[in-house]
Amino acid sequence: MLTAEHKAWIGREEAPVHVEVSRRDIIKYAIATEQTQPKYLAGDEAPPMF
């Protein structure tokens, strides 16, 4: 159920937020999402939807 507050955010634009992620963050995400490709498990590349 969408409240009035939720609906107020629809179509609204905000400034982008930049966040640094580490190789460890990528590896943890890959493990948690059961990725099997070595490039993700090594942290060389972030899996889709990271």
The whole-number pLDDT of residue 37 equals 96
The whole-number pLDDT of residue 19 equals 94
Strands (E) in the chain, as ranges, are: none
Residue 27 and residue 50 in contact, taking contact as beta carbons nearer than 8 Å: no
pLDDT digit string, tens, across residues 17-34: 999 999 999 999 999 999
Break the chain into its structural domains and give their ranges. 19-50
The whole-number pLDDT of residue 47 equals 95
> What does residue 37 show for φ and ψ, rounded to 5 degrees?
-75, 130
Mean pLDDT calculated for residue range 34-43: 96
Under the banding of pLDDT at 50, 70 and 90, the label for residue 39 is: very high
Mean of per-residue pLDDT scores for the chain: 95
Closest by CA to 30, choosing from 7, 49, 16, 17, is: 49
